[in-house]
Structure 1
Amino acid sequence: MLDIMRENASGWIVKILFAIIIIVFVFAFGMSGLDTSNDPVLATVNDRIITRAEFEDAFQRAAEGLRKANPNVTSAQLQDPQFKQLVLNELINSRLLLEEAERLGISASDEEVFAAITRQSIFWNAEDKFDRNIYQAALRSIRMTPAQFEANFRNEYIAGKVKDMVRSTGNATEEQTRELYNWVGEEVTIDYIETSPRQFVDAIDVTDEEIRQFYTENESRFMVPEQASIRYLTFTPKALATYQEVTDEEIKAYYDANADNLVQREEVNARHILVMTKDSDTESVQKEARNKIDRIYKKAKAGEDFAELAKTYSEGPSASNGGALGWFGRGAMVPEFEEAAFATPKGEVSEPIKTQFGWHIIYVDDRKDPESKSLEYVKDQIAQAIAEEKAAEVISDMLDQSMDRLVSGMDLEAIADELGLLAVTSRPMPESSLPQAFGMTPEAAQVIMAIPAGEAHQTPLAIDGGYMLLEKVEDIPAAPMELDQVKQVIINAITTEKATEKAKAAADEILAKLSSPEGAKELADRIKTSEQFSRQGVVPGLGRNVKLAKAVFDSDGTTWLSESYVMPSGSIIVAKLHERIAAPEEMWEQQKDTWIEQASRNYQTEALTAFMTDLRKEANIVIARPDLLN
């Protein structure tokens, strides 16, 4: 299970994995309440069976729970074989744990089971006491009888005893935890010499033959995907607003009724520098992030160019733009960020602030104070709002009239002419561009691509704010771009590649020189010393390189590292350990209990994982119907 979590750490599955586990174990564990005597067998675990009905019931309960917990989960994601395998794995694990409980003589009395159920807070009333009415209502909502649920809960409770027994072997000692703390909290600085490919760009020549060869070998990189051009009628308040008549009297009445809301809101134009952290990060990582933002803050307060600092140090998506966020009003940012931004005067830098994304400092480029707007200033805005209100009232009628004509065989141009609308023909677009262009779902974009050229889609497609009717004008198959169109891109790519090779060769020459006292002396003025960094490998001012960090932490510092390293900026460095900084003693004394608790949880998880892995290795597990997982 942990392996699956690691492999899918950036995908949707890991975001909902714990919900799956909870639902499967609480509401589907064992499924002993089902009558499955005549049902096909999906899998066997030693001499215990898992039936198709049992799996499907567990799967449906898991899917229902996930939809409630995450409404954005799609049907396609729920039908993913990997999701189904997760549900089946939990059912297999339940069989193995119950079998092990029998072998060890572990059981649960009726009194134990009932007492455990009454401790479940989901069945408590406002007075924090078990309420049988709430209990029965909860079971009805998941279509289970008390007998079914209690039988399943008994299995869960017994399995929990086995897991608790295994976890009890994984408690960490203070000595073990201190060793872990020292390892995690240790930091280093490096001496390094940097070589940049930019130094060699002007000396690079790219021949026509090299361009042609690169184009041929990388043709797939220059493919224009399949595209489609469509003709469409849009039925949204914004699209139909242009056909609505709005009088000056209506505009004046609207202005008088909404004068208090028609004000220039307070806004700021700001930049920020972000050092990313998560609540789940270790204390050492959190401390490193805070120290880094403090160092950057000092540079900014000392007058260094904020935009350049953002380009160098920020870990947010706006770093390449010098941290620029543009104009924004209240409600656009998370509360902590908003409060600091609006409290910072124009031309000044905020103190470091913490949000869910990490540590920030903010520079305010400009501000707009709130002020009332005149009728003349907002006249067009009001007219558009009134027109959209009127349009919203006629959307259904206009769409019905259009559908009647479409079903009768009229094309969109003719429908538009008859109803006084405008049919628009789009430029050719790939499937990936359609959702953003029209505010539709990816599934709707797939529908559009599947329509044959010259045919209309016979039902409206939902888009942001309303619907559209459409017909396919043209299909354009995928094809490679002409060489002339991508020639400069190829030249840039070859130039970068050659410049990097030269920079790498120069770095290797530097490394060779540093092995002799004479060479080291010659290069002494090029040696820089970094700020301290942790095993995560984020070197301040250079970026993240985990391989470099591992080599430095493994080094004794007597010699330069045996190879050069390419950094995220593209520069190449040779490096050597400069100094080790031990994890702070005072922090250990402050956080010792927390570290021991966390280390014990980690060891307990590892112990349980190893235990389940061994059970599965020794078990005879047969998936009789793998087709049900595809």
Structure 2
Amino acid sequence: MDKLRDFLKSWPGRILLILCLSPLALLGVESYFGGGVDPNQVAQVGDASVGLSEYQTAVNNRRTEILEQVEDASLLNEDVLHEQVLKGLIDRTLLEQQAGKLGMTVSDDTINRLLRQEDAFKDADGNFSNDQFANFLRQRGMTKNQLFAEFRNQLSLDQLNASIVGTAVYPMKAVSQLIDLQLESRNIWLHRFEWQDYVDQVKLSKSDIQAYYDANKNDLKSAAVVDLAYLQLSPQSLQVSDVTTEDLQQQYEAYKQSQAITDERRISQILLTGENTKARADKVKARLDKGESFAALAKTESDDPSGETGGDIGRFNPTVFGSDAVAVEKALEGLSVGDVTAPIKTSFGYQIFTVTEDNGSSLPSLESMRDELMVKAKEYKRQELYADKVAAINDLAADGFSIEDIAQQENVALKRLKNYPKENNQTLLSQPAVIKQAFDEFTIQDQAVTAGIEVGNGTVWVQPSNYRPTKTLTLSAATPRITQILRQQKATALALKDAKALAANIKTPADINKQSVRLQSLGEVNRQTTRLTEKERGLAFSQPAADNGVVAIASETEVGATLLVGDPIKTEQQSPLSDVQRAQTAAIVRDNLGQDQLQDYLDYLRLVYKVEINEANMNNAQGR
């Protein structure tokens, strides 16, 4: 019932329908085409086994799925990933054996019919193609019999799964009652008795501390900790050199490529070389400004063979001009057909250009994009520098350099964390990937610098030292923790005592304002209110009130103790859900129940079939 209440608590009005728990991930159709069992086992399940290669493939596939949804790979907890995948494979193997024991099987005719319906095996006309089917088998290195065996196994598994999950019963009347609970509201008055306010009244004796220690000794353990030296690097932390003209040109060319823009301008030139070229170029330019033909002057004045064809040198290609490309491109910027540039000094001499034809798309000039290109060029240089630095640090770490030497050689700030914990880590480096590397057995033993660990948009390298494993605390060491626990427990008990005494005096609305403490009026609230804590929301509607009266409820809560006063519960007459939505909700509720039944059934199968995990192979697969 608690699960169902939690399931429904987020509506009405916002979320009408939510997805139910995912079906067992490893029961999917992808297993139709799996290979044989590896002789190296990670688990023995009854008469069957889970192979090492099968396990590693499942882990890699699941890791890929998760990383497609999570940007920061360091947030992935590898230990939990391996644990969940192994459980899924064992669950599947248990169900496979049980399906075989119960005689659940599928005929070849049924498999043939299902395979003929697969789109992957159909030709362009929608008919089953033997060629495509044969090609499919060839690509996967399988025979028809192997495929049929895999298919039969999966369908038998589906039958057993459906027979458990699909039989969950939850009457529509009960679903409607659950939905109607979300329509309830009542006026609430509230007062919280915080346990911290009662700490001064708490008296603890040595015998109290000793008694708690004796009863909870096995749970009073020190956390495993190390002292951590680390380097942290991100692209944003790096200073890059000034952007050059060549850098801008490179980004401009990249922009044009990304936009599929090509320069379709056809140009002609007049090249002047030898002595007095500047004076000659100025005279030619003056004649062009007076209206003389560019082609005619090219034939008579140009010192380049292209002059014979009126100076035509084809479509503009910056690479032809080498180091002069930027100057030439700048001179040509914004020119329309027929326009002429001023004389340009290049490594060839002095050149004058004109645009004779332009069939290209509109192209923004480099100058007009300068600010944008400047930002892109800086980021490109920064990412390039970052990649080089990460590679250099990784090489030094692999060569056995200490983290101090690496920091000095690569000019990266060395940082330290004392008492870095393995559990309940709230430090700046609390990512599971970092914790796993910091407490890796070989890293600790060798006090080595780890390879780079990707964290957010940066990389971290860590070197642990002074490892202190978890151990049972002595009474002296545990006393501060016990003292805090007992103080909170006893202070909470005192707070609850006051809350109950006050609750006993409230019977009518008039009693609310007669108490020694002020009860805050929250007005009319429903089960979805955010003004109450999760536990308080459950308490607020746990007891009815008499007509024209109120009910006072005192209970221990997250803050210490809470006193809630409520008037009679009111229920909205109009449900926000249609009949169709109610039916869909009922299906989701039943599926949730079915998943619970499936887990209960798997727990039963674990008693029927002996499950043994090969810890050595597991540790090897996890890189331990």
* TM-score where L is the length of structure 2: 0.53
Cα distance in 2, alignment partners of residues 213 and 529 from structure 1: 40
Cα deviations across residues 605-629 of structure 1 (Å, max 9, x unaligned)?
7579769967996999332745479
Distance 2:203 2:165 in 1: 66
Cα separation, 2, equivalents of 1:130 and 1:148:
20
CA distance in 2, matches of 1:89, 1:57: 17
Deviations 1:588-619 (A, max 9, x none): 6xx32343355356547757976996799699
Distance 2:123 2:390 in 1: 46
1:470 and 1:569, CA in 2 relative to 1: closer, same or farther beyond 3 A? closer
Give 1:544 shift: 2.2
| Change in 2 beyond 3 A, CA 1:579/1:128 | farther
In the TM superposition, residue 376 of structure 1 has moved relative to its aligned partner by 14
The answer to whether structure 1 residue 509 and structure 2 residue 501 are counterparts is yes
Report the secondary structure of 1:551's partner residue: coil
Separation in 1, partners of 2:406, 2:137: 54
Q: Can you list the C-alpha shifts for 1:110-167, whole angstroms capped at 9, x where unaligned?
A: 3321222233456668887766666566666766433212123224335545666777
Q: Which has the higher contact order (CA 8 A, sep 6+)?
A: 2
The equivalent residue for 1:118 is 116
Matched-pair contact (CA < 8 Å) for 2:443–2:449:
no
Whether the aligned pair in 2 keeps the contact of 1:194 and 1:571 (CA below 8 Å) is no
Tell me which structure has the larger Cα radius of gyration: 2
Which residue among 147, 150, 153 is the counterpart of 1:152?
A: 150
Instruction: Give 1:77 shift.
Output: 4.1
| Contact in 1 for aligned 2:186/2:569 (Cα 8 Å) | yes
Q: Which residue of 1 aligns with 2:329?
A: none
Aligned equivalent of 2:582, options 595, 601, 609: 595
- 2:542 is aligned to 551
Q: Does the 8 Å contact 1:457/1:471 carry over to 2?
A: yes
CA distance in 2, matches of 1:379, 1:169: 63
Output the CA distance in 2 between the equivalents of 1:491 and 1:70: 42
Distance 2:391 2:165 in 1: 65
> Given residue 511 of structure 1, which amino acid in structure 2 is its aligned partner?
A
Deviates more, 1:507-516 or 1:438-447: 438-447
| Superposed displacement of residue 437, structure 1 | 8.7
8 Å contact from structure 2 (residues 122, 129) kept in 1: yes
2:172 aligned residue:
177
Report the equivalent of 1:299.
none
Deviation at 1:228, TM superposition (A): 1.7
Q: Percent identity?
A: 11
Show CA shifts across 1:452-507 (max 9, x none): 6xx76377544557877776676689999xx9xx99x9999999777755543332
Task: Let me know the Cα RMSD of the aligned residues.
Answer: 6.4
Q: Which amino acid aligns with 1:66?
A: R
Please state whether the residue corresponding to 1:565 is helix, strand or coil: strand
One-letter identity of the residue aligned with 1:230: A
Deviations along 1:212-239, whole A, 9 cap, x unmatched? 998998999997863425376x787667
Contact 1:231 1:424 (8 Å CA) reproduced = yes
Which residue matches 1:94? 96
Partner of 1:446: 439
Secondary structure of 2:448's aligned partner: coil
| Secondary structure of 1:182's aligned partner | helix
Which letter maps to 1:505?
K
Shift in Å, 1:20:
1.1
Q: Is 1:533 equivalent to 2:526 in the alignment?
A: yes
Alignment map for 1:211-230 (pairs within 5 Å): 226-230=225-229
Q: Secondary structure at the match of 2:542?
A: helix
Give the conservation status (yes or no) of the 8 Å contact 1:542–1:568: no
* Cα offsets for 1:396-432 (capped at 9, x unmatched): 885598579x56xx76767777x68467363536155
Contact 1:43 1:622 in 2 (8 A): yes
Cα distance in 1 for partners of 2:606, 2:491 equals 57
Cα offsets for 1:347-394 (capped at 9, x unmatched): xxxxxxxxxxxxxxxxxxxxxxxxxxx999999989975763663575
CA distance in 2, matches of 1:516, 1:184: 30
1:552 match: secondary structure: coil
Question: Of residues 84, 95, 100 in structure 1, which corresponds to 2:86?
Answer: 84
Distance 2:462 2:596 in 1: 54
1:388 aligns with 2:382: yes
User: Deviation at 1:518?
Assistant: 8.7
Q: Structure 2 vs 1, CA of residues 40 and 178 (structure 1 numbering), >3 Å: closer, same or farther?
A: closer
Structure 1's 154 and 208: CA in aligned 2 closer, same or farther, altered over 3 A? closer
Distance of 1:606 and 1:231 partners within structure 2: 48
1:181 deviates by 1.3
Q: Which amino acid aligns with 2:227?
A: A
Matched length: 465
Listed as ranges, the gaps of 5+ residues in structure 1 are 7-13, 45-49, 262-373
Q: What does 1:419-458 align with in structure 2 at a 5 Å threshold?
A: 421=411, 424=414, 426=416, 428=418, 430=420, 432=425, 436=429, 441-447=434-440, 450-451=443-444, 457=448
Indicate how the Cα distance of structure 1 residues 122 and 552 shifts in structure 2: closer, same or farther if over 3 A, else same: farther
* Deviation (angstroms), 1:508: 1.6
CA shift in 2, pair 1:414/1:532, >3 Å = closer
The equivalent of 1:51 in structure 2 is 48
Does the residue aligned with 2:543 lie in a helix, a strand or coil? helix
